[in-house]
Structure 1
Amino acid sequence: MSQVPRRRGRLLLALATAGVLFITGCTASGAPVDATSYKDLPAESGTPIDGGVVTIALTPGLTPNYIYPYPPAATGGTVIGYDLMWRALYRTSLEGEPFDAATSLAEEPVISDDGHTATIALKDHSWSNGKPVTADDVVFTFDLLKAAIAESPANWAFYTPGQFPDGVTVTAADARTAVFSFEKPYNPSYLVSLLQLLYIMPSADWSIAATGGRVLDYTQPENATAIYHYLTGQSEDQSTFVTNPLWQIVNGPYQLSAFEPTTGSFSLTPNKKYSGPGDSRIERVDFKAFTSPSAVYNQFAAGELTTGRLDASFASKIGDLRKKGYNVYGAPSPARFDGLVINFDNKVDNFDKIIGQLYIRQAMQHLIDQPGYIKSRGIHSGTATANYSTGGLNSAYPPEFGEKATYPYDVKAAEKLLTDHGWKVDAEKGTTCVRPGTGDDQCGEGIPKGQKITFTIASANDPAFVGARDLAFVSQLKKVGIDAKVVTKSLNYMYENYGNSYAPDNADKWAMQDFGAFVQTSYPTSNNAFNTGGSFNLGSYSNPEADKLIEASTFGADPKALSAEVTMLSKDLPVLFFPTPDNLIVWKKDLSGPPSTFRSMLKFVYSPEQWYFTGKQK
């Protein structure tokens, strides 16, 4: 596998664990679920007691195998509880704020008038060995990130050449003040989203290139590279994750106390020096690895799990779980949209010319029955929410049309768009261009007379609802004489072969693809995904207006820039929109804490230091 496809796969996993992955699951069974049965988030309740062990189900397939916060691409590493041991400058919030102020290491950045400087004041936090968290630690982390990228651009899944950390320098103005300087100013909100990915590491103890070695000046690139090699080398020995003193120096609420290399299960105990919110009443937190969603459900049914995510295929069991003493809460993952990716560079049967016409994409979106897919027992069985925007649902940066359908399901509207633009619609023999040309009532540039619309959709083999919705879409296309067929592929195969930005020679081998979800940071700009030449612009979408709006949302200062970008893209359809599956969070009723800490599990953000049991524990 080449480095770039591997990087794309790592991006999806990284976004999942930081806040960005599609649900792994099976086809839903049973009668459609009433979504109102799980939409209410229970209030905090009960009298806290000390002690108890919380057992959390890891999502099947997301088993950790690495401990250094920035694993090299070659390792395919998934980091153990990184957010609970090493906090970023800013922590993700699901409460409509740019970041969670209470659990972040720093105060809100102060941006200079010209946008070239961001001054960041650190809060009073300490490392588990009692040393203070300082601005030098921020500089150290940044310099090691740059060393990783210099080794290989694939070593940081969020890196795009020419963007952060390129053109950025970080200095320590004093012990508690870090100053970021930018050659090109960033939009402040976008900057905060980037700094949510900067997990701070201890400069006083980790700036060595050998065990027991002398402390090095990490601001020198050659030293930063040597330190990076040492730390990543240490992280490859899973048998020493608990015993290696390096990994016991943390600034988050927990330290690693046990790790099972064969399964990826691990345990955490409280960091007694942690000064963030929460009383850390829980004695220990066990993260348990699983190989399948059914295994997770069986453990919930047996009462062996305290909390975790329930696969939507078991939504019909919500009532049973409540009888067994569990709360269940569900909602769409924030900053997620499910899109059928369009390949604008596929020339087979003039697909590029056809799909380049906006009216064609509008007609196809009119053929996606989102409400029907949500209700369907074969697709979502009631456990999804309609979405029509690249910003996702309940976004702080909504499109101007809100959450309404820009192109609602309407077969007649789709047919009219085709006939109004020079096509003869024939559901039996296939729809044909009868008025070629570039006029308003003609088929469009490069589409010859007699042209039919035919193409292939590459569909991921997991989760199962992906294939089900693709087949449903194909059946709707046939109603207006469009001939499409679904070809099922593994996710790994699609990651390696279906992306024009990294596999351009395969552009004519796929016309559309459905790999699940786009899951983004808390600032859901489409930078890199839909700008011309973007590193993750899989289908070669290109629109000068989109480029301008993405540039403004990424580097401009207008707080409304992202909403303008989302509005334009959602109308122009660089992808076709499917419903967003709901995530289901389950936890025992005798476990409580701030409701926001359970809502944050929608994006794999855990805060057990703020939880407590309310009854007698074993």
Structure 2
Amino acid sequence: MGVKALQGTPSTARRWGIEMTTHLGADGTPPGAGRTRPHHRRAWTALIASLALVLSACGTHTGSASTPGGGNSGKPLVGGTVSYAYGANYFKWIFPLPNEVSWTQYQQAVSWSLWPTLYTPGNGPVPAINETTSLAYPPVFSQNNSVVTVKLKPGLKWSDGQPVTSADVQFFLELYQANKKNVASYVPGDFPDNVASVSYPNSSEFVIHLTGSYSQQWVTDNELTQIIPMPRQEWDRTSMSSPAGNAASTPAGATAVFNFLEKQASTLSTYATNPLWKVIDGPWELTSYNPTTSQVVLTANPHYTGANKPHLHKVIIYSYASDTAEVTALRSGNVDYGFVPYSDYVGLKSYLAHNGYVVAPWLADFVQWGELNYTGPYGPLNSQLYIRQALQHVIDQKLYIQTTLHGVGIPTYGPVPNTPGSKFVSPQEKVDPYPYSTSSARSLLTSHGWAPGAGGTMTCQRPGTAPNECGAGIAQGRSLTLSLLYEAESPTLAAQVQAFQTAAAKAGIHIALDPQTITSMYAQGGVCPTSAPCNWGIKLFANWLWNYGDTDVEPTGGASFGTGNYWGGGYHSPQADALIAATHKETGLSHLYAYENYISRQVAALWFPTWATQISVVKDNLKGWDPQQAFGFPQFSSWYLTH
């Protein structure tokens, strides 16, 4: 059941001048916020009604405006305040090294505004490094691609007037190396494990000595993008009263410093006042934060010395407890740059377009999949390729896109975004290897020793490991039943999983639906602990838009499907590891294609259609936002207001 449509006649959206002032209500809620219970930002309030609308925007990823006025025309005005809306995926983590819970683009969109990465992932709509906004010049490789020399751009300064130097990079590397298991992006064997040593010949240069010869593109796109210079002169301490300087120079000291910074970051009420978070090198400063509503106020950093200085004076980020509350605020004119859920898109796009808004789906370079559990009690079933193939055969992606997503989605056939025009997606991955067919799914099962049991669900009749038997760990008489954990707050997702359940039943597979809160979904993690296996077979988030690891630009897959990954459900394949390793060693697309084709055909995860990261709704006097960024990060510094 979806949220009821808004009642009454919509009022004309309020217009504003250069400086728009907005305030919290008396109860601390953002403008237009209702009292509905919170839910995950990506859990779109959605439809179950079937529609055959296919939009012209489908198949593009630039987020091009659907009406005139969404481009970058018009003379920029200096200053002004713009409001930006998130849903209920609250900003709750300021420290730029993410843990598993904080590893989302919503958290990083704020923290990277304060402390940018060394190299900027995403150049507008293109999945590539943005050399203009990066803090360093392109790296120089030598000694058969085993040595990387990086030179910082001149004139970069912290907001306290101190220069950004190689010592700030060294501080980051010391923290990361000593605490890598607590950093969400870490994958064993990759950065920083493949770093033999680092030297610092001067204040503007550092030299990384790798453990072997590596692909220049992979190192640049996926390793150097993880580096975030951090203010050593302020953060390298173990308490607020201790002096800062070289506490992190030993592994034990780096652990103590890391623990101190994480503890400071857990005190949300001091985000806008803690002197630690005031020393920044990014274009924006966090000047106000409400830990209850997660409202963030970013003010242009007057001491910013990098490229692309902000046009705006302030950006107010509202976090709404429900999509209904956000849409209410949007309709009343309290949001400059917001979103409409899929359920409201068709009904509101014409109204919004005629009331001063541009509507533009944001189809970022992400991939959506259903995570399979290879380590829990369902592991023996999910470990069988033919079962995974059968499951993929009963996912009707075309139907889901046409009905639940109103045509705003991209078919997903493997681990690399199937974005038109992308050089990274292989020709093979553009074609569905397991098209929708319940009969094909059923044939795969019966040919491997399964037969219908009670209620039509398949049971194993020929246990064993021969090619025509059920497979290792599957006992005779075991029912082909899988528990599907999914995000309960999203009716759109519910429509998809119900259709999946119905189709699977026709093939003899019983999908036991287990709706959960987003909090519960996160708590059960990606890899089940061996001491207490998680009791789920498939996990599917609403609009869980997987990219390559947030700081990864080239989709080589180590963070997703390499051994030791967290969100791959414990997937492990020596052949996949070898193919991934080849993408790290050899420059060029052939090795990348080999990896993605293998993972696609192996159905390492269940491929579901990729949603738009959001359907953006933007006031027509706000420019500089289009095209929308490749990896879902709002580019606040490029925005400007016009008359």
C-alpha separation in 2, matches of 1:209 and 1:533:
31
Give the deviation of 1:571 after TM superposition: 0.6
Deviations 1:440-487 (A, max 9, x none): 666556767776533332333233333332221111122223333222
Give the deviation of 1:203 after TM superposition: 2.5
1:121 aligns with 2:121: no
| Kept after mapping to 1: 8 A contact 2:281/2:304 | yes
Give the deviation of 1:259 after TM superposition: 2.1
Which residues in structure 2 correspond to 1:427-442 (within 5 Å)?
Answer: 429-431=456-458
C-alpha separation in 2, matches of 1:199 and 1:313:
39
1:364 aligns with 2:394: no
C-alpha separation in 2, matches of 1:91 and 1:76:
17
**Helix, strand or coil for the counterpart of 2:558?**
coil
Which residue of structure 1 aligns with residue 82 of structure 2?
A: 54
Deviations 1:151-210 (A, max 9, x none): xx32x1122345422453333222221212223555444433233232222223443455
C-alpha separation in 1, matches of 2:383 and 2:177:
39
C-alpha separation in 2, matches of 1:224 and 1:344:
35
Give the deviation of 1:304 after TM superposition: 1.0
| Kept after mapping to 1: 8 A contact 2:368/2:611 | no
C-alpha separation in 2, matches of 1:474 and 1:220:
55
C-alpha separation in 1, matches of 2:359 and 2:94:
31
C-alpha separation in 2, matches of 1:580 and 1:453:
27
C-alpha separation in 2, matches of 1:427 and 1:202:
65
Which residues in structure 2 correspond to 1:200-599 (within 5 Å)?
Answer: 200-209=229-238, 211=240, 214-218=243-247, 220-221=249-250, 222-316=252-346, 317-339=348-370, 341-345=371-375, 352=380, 355-376=382-403, 379-394=404-419, 395-421=422-448, 429-431=456-458, 453-497=480-524, 499-503=526-530, 505-506=532-533, 509-516=535-542, 517=544, 518-521=546-549, 522-538=553-569, 540-557=570-587, 559-582=589-612, 583-593=614-624, 595-596=626-627, 599=628
The equivalent position to 1:82 in structure 2, one of 111, 121, 133, is 111
Give the deviation of 1:570 after TM superposition: 0.4
**Helix, strand or coil for the counterpart of 1:373?**
helix
| Kept after mapping to 2: 8 A contact 1:137/1:203 | yes
C-alpha separation in 1, matches of 2:523 and 2:91:
21
Deviations 1:52-99 (A, max 9, x none): 2111112322233x4332367899995782111111101121533431
Gaps of 5+ in 1: 1-20
Give the deviation of 1:611 after TM superposition: 1.7
C-alpha separation in 1, matches of 2:451 and 2:528:
35
C-alpha separation in 1, matches of 2:48 and 2:469:
45
**Helix, strand or coil for the counterpart of 1:609?**
helix
Task: Name the structure where helix makes up a greater proportion of residues.
Answer: 1
| Kept after mapping to 2: 8 A contact 1:391/1:398 | yes
**Helix, strand or coil for the counterpart of 1:493?**
helix
User: In structure 2, what residue type is equivalent to 1:329?
Assistant: A
Shift of the 131–361 alpha-carbon distance from structure 1 to 2, 3 Å rule, reads same
Give the deviation of 1:501 after TM superposition: 4.5
C-alpha separation in 2, matches of 1:225 and 1:450:
51
C-alpha separation in 1, matches of 2:373 and 2:233:
49
Deviations 1:92-136 (A, max 9, x none): 215334311111111222223433321112112222333332212
Which residues in structure 2 correspond to 1:85-124 (within 5 Å)?
Answer: 85-93=114-122, 94-124=124-154
C-alpha separation in 1, matches of 2:473 and 2:258:
53
Give the total of aligned pairs: 579
**Helix, strand or coil for the counterpart of 1:566?**
helix
Shift of the 456–249 alpha-carbon distance from structure 1 to 2, 3 Å rule, reads closer
C-alpha separation in 2, matches of 1:135 and 1:102:
19
C-alpha separation in 2, matches of 1:542 and 1:74:
23
Shift of the 314–186 alpha-carbon distance from structure 1 to 2, 3 Å rule, reads farther
1:193 aligns with 2:222: yes
C-alpha separation in 2, matches of 1:176 and 1:355:
50
Superposed CA RMSD in Å reads 3.3
1:176 aligns with 2:204: yes
Shift of the 481–172 alpha-carbon distance from structure 1 to 2, 3 Å rule, reads same
C-alpha separation in 2, matches of 1:27 and 1:501:
30
| Kept after mapping to 2: 8 A contact 1:190/1:554 | yes
TM-score relative to the length of structure 1: 0.83
**Helix, strand or coil for the counterpart of 2:112?**
helix
| Kept after mapping to 2: 8 A contact 1:427/1:479 | no
Deviations 1:247-281 (A, max 9, x none): 33221111222222332212122223334443522
User: In structure 2, what residue type is equivalent to 1:175?
Assistant: S
| Kept after mapping to 2: 8 A contact 1:277/1:610 | no
Shift of the 355–24 alpha-carbon distance from structure 1 to 2, 3 Å rule, reads closer
Shift of the 408–22 alpha-carbon distance from structure 1 to 2, 3 Å rule, reads farther
Identical counterparts, % of pairs:
28
Give the deviation of 1:388 after TM superposition: 1.0
1:36 aligns with 2:56: yes
**Helix, strand or coil for the counterpart of 1:548?**
helix
| Kept after mapping to 2: 8 A contact 1:385/1:581 | yes
User: In structure 1, what residue type is equivalent to 2:582?
Assistant: A
**Helix, strand or coil for the counterpart of 1:486?**
strand
The equivalent position to 1:25 in structure 2, one of 35, 39, 44, is 44
**Helix, strand or coil for the counterpart of 2:360?**
strand
Give the deviation of 1:390 after TM superposition: 0.9
User: In structure 2, what residue type is equivalent to 1:548?
Assistant: A
Deviations 1:538-594 (A, max 9, x none): 2x4333321211222345555532222111000111222111111212211111126
C-alpha separation in 1, matches of 2:275 and 2:375:
52
C-alpha separation in 1, matches of 2:504 and 2:264:
54
Give the deviation of 1:370 after TM superposition: 0.6
Shift of the 246–449 alpha-carbon distance from structure 1 to 2, 3 Å rule, reads closer
Gaps of 5+ in 2: 1-39
User: In structure 2, what residue type is equivalent to 1:607?
Assistant: Q
**Helix, strand or coil for the counterpart of 1:255?**
strand
**Helix, strand or coil for the counterpart of 1:456?**
strand
User: In structure 1, what residue type is equivalent to 2:416?
Assistant: G
Shift of the 383–445 alpha-carbon distance from structure 1 to 2, 3 Å rule, reads same
